[in-house]
Structure 1
């Protein structure tokens, strides 16, 4: 491409110096291997006498001198554990400049730095980790304080339960603030049968000497004060969370990280003609809407399978490279196989020792079954297999999948979105007669949308069909439900056999391990944006943790065991869950088993220094997963607030511990993560905090309506039997043949009735919202105060559901329905009047794939016509072609060979780069097999680039 005589290669060469000054770390990228080596060499002398973490001190002082821990310590040229631990503290862990401001220092920045102290790092300093991290910790701290205030407000209810719901036997200390009812008596029941009390007849139903049946009644009534305190607590939480949402929204604006990006200038075409592969044609079409011009066009093909295979091949090659001596040429097949043979001989000759043999059998072999820790020969075999598969995929024809067009101004983008906005029906039916002729491209009604950010596009998943995406998501949802069922079954069996404490510990372990399991399942899902992926994962983890922690217990516990005092009943189980959340869950997170496995098992057995350093990248964390832990505690305390108001004290303590443990993990355990923005905070506030509030009012309504949880009713208008019961019934016989002496506490017999919604669902139908009408005709179990409370909550549930429906779903549904029949594009915000080419930190749209273990994303397109500054990163050690997957396996039709950093940039006078290719590689294919990106810089931009060389 040429603009006023200047080619993109000339512009690239003129602007290389400014490109190398760009900050990769500012965009969330790690240092390159060369930058790490330079940094560690410069810090070699500074490390002496510096403060070290206790783990590093213990390893360097004791463990690394033991052959069972570091079996390669006596081998010449073995990697250094001290070097990797220094790398961990200097590169992986976050550091700040010395001083009260604690401004975060990037690894390659000059100045005296130190590690963040988790105890001295204040809330105001956490914004250095990004607005998303800052909002998360702010939410945890604010909600913990909210729990403390709510707990103090519920002291009257806690006192009432402690005094009035207990008999002379007393209760366990941890349940004093709950509705556990230790005050009971026996009453004759004419229509009771053992079948009506499944799983409970051994303790709640007995037979007298005369053959009549007696049932146990809970002598624990509801007072108006209990319901009022609970209702006003819900109002308090509603006001508090609303105020917190407003405050955080203001804070997001103040610390706005969503500055102008390529998204503000771009549009995306989701249904382009499959053969419209000329970027100039797209530029000419969209130029009619541009205020100034079209600056970038990016074409993406439906070649995702080939891209994923190329990515797997690159990963295998890098795994193999780390096992071999530095400088081994992986492209020289003979030299590569020779190096692998030497490596195998050296590996087999090394003594394993007892510890090594145990680890090989118990750890390394099982991991290799899942493709992890592969041996060199396995990597080489996989590379050969993947290479052959790639060559087959390169021979296929690929169609255009998505088009991204970037304008020079925001006005151009808005004009295009407004002019090309069409109803969903017109797009699907291709009703060109309803669309202005200027908006028709090749006789097609285009679906043009406002795209997501360039780094949030999942290019490897863009072309999968909607049907596959829906089916895969639904299948994973079903699997998640199955996991919930399995976890609930295991928790129930454990509770019956070992008690609620062991069951609660198992629940905590399940909650800790579910993110890893679901992340593996997410590999089968296809999401076009990173936001869609994170939301899907976030939803499934939240669903599992909410059900596993709170709701499953209610389903597996018999109804009449809800407030009874048995060891395995509901409230003792909830208490055990909360204690586990207070101690076991933070211990699992702080213990960091995956990270310690990397640092203390795999790292000492690494063959090369690079392989060892990869074990010190820190534990990968997901902010969405941390939010699920927060909402899980919120949900449990809300769900059982009526029966267990003391849970608010637990919630305060749990979140206080979570705040400090997560802060320790952030500064001493977790790896480097890019700034995540405020999307997860907004998502949590909008859906999960709101959902928890709705669950609060609904669960409380049912809790008050179902008291006293004994499934026994008094008849209205007198007795229902002429039998006159005896006051004393001795030697009652239970279903397990146990006998006890009891006193009958009620003259009139009682009748069986379903007080719980599960029993009512089987007999009377679904009772929602719960109301006083749930009481059967002629029978009554609610007191007058209880009926008043139930009526309050009945209308509160209706109002909450209506508000939630309107805010959460009606607006979205209405917009979707209206969009089917007419265009509904509305611009948001105001234009900043800054041209695209004037923004120095902007990144273009081009196909790329980012992996956690690599410093930069892999490019998957022809970017020769793209200015390097728009790529978004600079590798001072390698050419951009190193990060471009299209050069990994040569194919017929390649436009040029792969370049290295030392190769001179071609000039117009040089022969075509295609002359450098092998004969079987050169030539032109009818259709490209990789995406195409083309840059059309404005004239003034070219002139400025030319002036820099004068």
Structure 2
């Protein structure tokens, strides 16, 4: 039995029922691409639009234009896309400069190698020409020079080490500049990570925070309180149910269209999707269905029925097992208020544990919430980053899932390494082609297993997990696989070094071209989309190509890793590395403006992680440089066999005996090689310490301060004076929501009565919401409590607190006043002037109030409005009134 169209909103009925059209799909894609919105009062003067609902300039009503690919704003355009994306593009340009500078420093080594490494008696595989000109190919040990080879590489190490040490400070300056140019909900909010189970009313947090700041005299400071429940599994099932309902509606629309076009009776229309698939197709259907393939009515109906059965069981159990609050977010009117809240409540873990477990009060312990709980408060990530549907996953389960994906990734890398070793004796370009193909396959493979197995609290943590696995996998596949595929005697041969150069050239030119063309996305657009039942379903495949920031960061770090790993043996590799970074910048800028779908706003988490990765790259570069200098030279049959180990045929030098320690027989190396070893061993240790600090030490330091110092150690930027209520319409409140790839918009998973629609991340807060009577009532049994009570138990709530009357609003504090009061530690906005009498109304205005509101008149005839849900009154109607 199919789902009637009447079950969903009028908006669904209006979906296009015509056959999918590529032209309409292109129009849909054009609407979803980023557009430039002029905002004169901001630092940049413009921002990116919030989606297809904002296609005209708010002031002039003119059509919003796409961002130009080139122009004077090329450096600042990415700032409007959020901190994470902006820092990525800035780091790309930073790596271009670093790679090019290092390549210029090594010009002396390149010139020296090209001049002196032209010996007679060497084989074809030892010629210093073509792709490997200026490299170590064809050199003899005596050709290594301290001034021409060792010193330039030492300067490269020291320069990049210094830049790495200064990177965090430079990044902080850029982060402050970007933060001042745009305001996001995270800049105005704090989150409570340990909400007491017994406090389930947002008003309790409103009273707590507003009384703390204003002593109960002015409630303007708190804009909204968001409370989510531990109901991730439930809202996931509700989203899946809604997605299959939408698919059934699409099938109904297709059937109606066919009947209208053919003028046939209903029983004459027979579709092959009315019966379940069988055999191998039935096995593949669950995996291909989300991508628009093998879509049948029978499967959608069966899955909908199965999910509804699971929901009835889960809801009946959840009614008895009351869902405690999971996360509480308090949004303030000003950034200064947020800073004060963090200064007061971002206490150390040790103090919270002692106070909550023993009841002991410190002299400066912050005021406790009702029941004696010292709150764990910190700044939240952006609303679009939070995975509300994973709120039910426990920490131990998360760790087990991460371990499984790590094991799968490690097993795949072992297989790739074995295959690489087997390919080294085949056709000259086979190994480089294989490595390039594996590099292209790694991101989707790791993305699939990570999203399928792991469960993370937010998008940033998911990207961080993918980043770490992809970084290790790409480094091993690209640089290490080539290194171990050749014996020590062959690693400086023209054949081995040419493979490295081909990989870098592919990164510089072939990979960006493949990314721009994106064959997989073209397949979805031009093959799968036309076969969808409705235009709506086809449009879903034209919302932009899927991508993730972790894959882009690892692609860049992999190229830098390969270039620096082989820089001593092939200095020209750094010129190609710089070219690869530049082409990546251009290709990624084009894709984010013209091809890619939008991702949640990202913070600086991966940018900071990349700095630690660069520190590790410098350490590996120091080790590889020491190794290549000690193994310098090509050894032909004319050389004495005493230069080699009798058992293996390799040189007697061994650099795998310990950390930055090599076995170096004095009679087997030249003086230049001895000096290189003596120089790069301590440089390697310095790089190792820096890498250890940047990648692990910083995390340990932050954990220590969080445990014992709390927010007292946090350096906060100067607060912006813009009021949250006055921000543009692209800024939303924190609201529990769940996404599904088959739905056009997220589904709200909280009660949002009384919240202005423009502060919610959906176009229709009534339809795009699973916490409603229409959604839950059909899933309740005959003995269930009233549906409103069930919704209250199952779902969180977003409560919006109206501002005071405009004539009662306090004057905004000046910049100097805010800064001086923050330094004193007790900021209180100016008290408002005495309230003026609201105008008299002879009769109540004829407006339609939302559920839970009523209108009354006092003894003098003045109209006022009552919010029975939150037990408040107001002289003005709620913003959602019509």
Q: Is the 8 A contact 1:222 1:704 kept in 2?
A: no
* 1:686-738 CA distance string (max 9 Å, x none): 3233333333233323333444587xxxxxxxxxxxxxxxxxxxxxxxxxxxx
Q: Measured at CA, do residues 921 and 554 of structure 1 come closer, stay the same or move farther in structure 2, by a change above 3 Å?
A: same
2:791 counterpart of 1:890: no
1:374 pairs with one of 291, 295, 302: 295
In the other structure, the counterpart of 2:737 is: 848
For residues 636 and 340 of structure 1, what CA distance do their matches in structure 2 show? Answer: 66
Is residue 155 of structure 1 aligned with residue 42 of structure 2? no
Quick check: 526-535 or 245-254, which moved more?
245-254
Matched, 1:820 2:741: no
Matches within 5 A, 1:328-727: 345-346=270-271, 367-368=288-289, 372-395=293-316, 396=318, 397=321, 398-407=323-332, 410=335, 413-428=338-353, 430-435=356-361, 438-439=367-368, 441-496=370-425, 498-523=426-451, 524-565=453-494, 567=495, 570-668=496-594, 670-673=595-598, 676=601, 679=604, 682-683=607-608, 685-707=610-632
The CA deviation at 1:440 is 5.8
The CA deviation at 1:858 is 1.4
1:268 partner SS: strand
Contact 1:866–1:935 at 8 Å: present in 2 too? yes
Q: Could you tell me whether the CA contact under 8 Å between 1:893 and 1:925 is conserved in 2?
A: no
Report if the CA contact (8 A) 1:344-1:376 is conserved. Answer: no
2:685 aligns to what? 798
Distance 1:297 1:93 in 2: 32
Alpha-carbon contact 1:892-1:921 (below 8 Å) kept: no
Matched, 1:225 2:114: no
Q: Does 1:316 align with 2:244?
A: yes
CA distance in 2 between counterparts of 1:837 and 1:103 reads 18
3-state secondary structure, aligned to 1:780: helix
In structure 1, the residue matched to 2:766 is 880
> 2: CA distance between counterparts of 1:91 and 1:655?
30
Q: Select the residue among 788, 792, 802 that pairs with 1:937.
A: 802
- Relative to structure 1, the CA distance from residue 120 to residue 748 in structure 2 (aligned partners, 3 Å threshold; closer, same or farther) is closer
1:829 to 710, 717, 730: 717
User: Distance in 2 between the 1:120 and 1:943 partners?
Assistant: 50
Using a 3 Å threshold, how does the CA distance of structure 1 residues 783 and 622 change in structure 2: closer, same or farther? same
- 8 Å CA contact 2:128, 2:136 repeated in 1: no
Deviation at 1:370, TM superposition (A): 8.7
Whether the 8 Å CA contact 2:755–2:800 is kept in 1: the answer is: yes
1:393, distance to aligned residue in structure 2 (A): 1.0
In structure 1, the residue matched to 2:827 is none
In structure 2, what is the equivalent of residue 769 of structure 1? 660
Cα deviation, residue 505, structure 1: 1.5
Point out the more displaced range, 253-262 or 653-662: 253-262
Aligned equivalent of 1:196: none
1:870-925: CA deviation from partner (whole Å, max 9, x where unpaired): 3244x2xx45343335456424999xxxxxxxxxxxxxxxxxxxxxx999865745
Aligned equivalent of 1:174 = 131
Measured in 2, the distance between the counterparts of 1:154 and 1:709 equals 21
- SS for the counterpart of 1:628 is helix
The residue number in structure 1 matching 2:81 is: 130
- With a CA cutoff of 8 Å and minimum separation of 6, indicate the structure with the bigger relative contact order: 1
Change over 3 Å in CA distance of 1:688–1:129 after alignment to 2? same
State the SS of the aligned residue for 1:82. Answer: helix
Cα distance in structure 1, aligned partners of 2:243 and 2:577? 44
Residues 770, 790 of structure 1: 8 Å contact kept:
no
Aligned length: 759
Give the superposed CA RMSD. Answer: 4.5
Alignment CA distance shift 1:927-1:870 (3 Å):
closer
What corresponds to 1:300 in structure 2? 228
Contact kept, 8 Å, 1:161 with 1:179, in 2: the verdict is: yes
SS across alignment from 1:558:
coil
CA distance in 1, matches of 2:468, 2:643: 51
CA gap of 1:111–1:456, structure 2 versus 1, over 3 A, is same
Q: Quick one: distance in 2 between partners of 1:409 and 1:123?
A: 31
Say whether the 8 Å CA contact 1:224–1:786 is kept in structure 2. Answer: no
Q: CA deviation at 1:453?
A: 2.5
Query: Which shifted more, 437-446 or 371-380?
Result: 437-446
Contact residue 639 and residue 695 of structure 1 kept, 8 A: yes
> 1:280 corresponds to which residue?
203
Contact 2:347/2:709, CA 8 A, preserved across alignment: yes
CA contact (8 A) 2:224 2:798 kept: yes
What CA distance in whole angstroms lies between the structure 2 residues aligned with 1:751 and 1:581? 40
Give the C-alpha shift of residue 130 in structure 1. Answer: 2.5
Structure 1 counterpart SS, 2:499: helix
Deviations 1:564-610 (A, max 9, x none): 35x4xx32332332233244423432331111101221133233222
State the shift of 1:629 in Å: 1.6
Q: How much has 1:342 moved relative to structure 2?
A: 6.9
Q: Deviations for 1:165-214, whole angstroms, at most 9, x for unmatched residues?
A: 3433534511222212465xxxxxxxxxxxxxxxxxxxxxxxxxxxxxxx
- CA drift of 1:628 comes to 1.9
Asked whether the equivalents of residues 615 and 690 of structure 2 are also in contact (C-alpha less than 8 Å), the reply is: no
Contact 2:195 2:325 in 1 (8 A): yes
Structure-2-length-normalised TM-score: 0.75
Which of these residues, 863, 866, 881, is aligned with residue 755 of structure 2? 866
Asked whether the 8 Å contact 2:504–2:563 carries over to 1, the reply is: no
Q: 1:756 to 1:143 in 2, by over 3 A?
A: farther
In 1, the alpha carbon distance for the partners of 2:543 and 2:472 equals: 30
Alpha-carbon contact 1:860-1:885 (below 8 Å) kept: yes
Deviation per residue, 1:624-659 (Å, 9 max, x gap): 322222221111101111111111122133334333
Contact 1:459 1:849 survives alignment (8 Å): yes
Deviation at 1:680, TM superposition (A): 6.0
Offset from partner CA, 1:336-377 (integer Å, 9 cap, x none):
xxx99979714579xxxxxxxxx9999989835999542111
Structure 2 portions without partners, runs of 5+: 1-10, 39-44, 258-263, 275-279, 807-872
Whole-angstrom distance in 1 between the partners of 2:792 and 2:62: 53
- The equivalences for 1:173-192 within 5 A come to 173-181=130-138
The alpha carbon displacement at 1:391 in A equals 1.1
Q: Sort the Cα spacing of 1:123 and 1:832 in 2 relative to 1 into closer, same or farther, 3 A.
A: closer
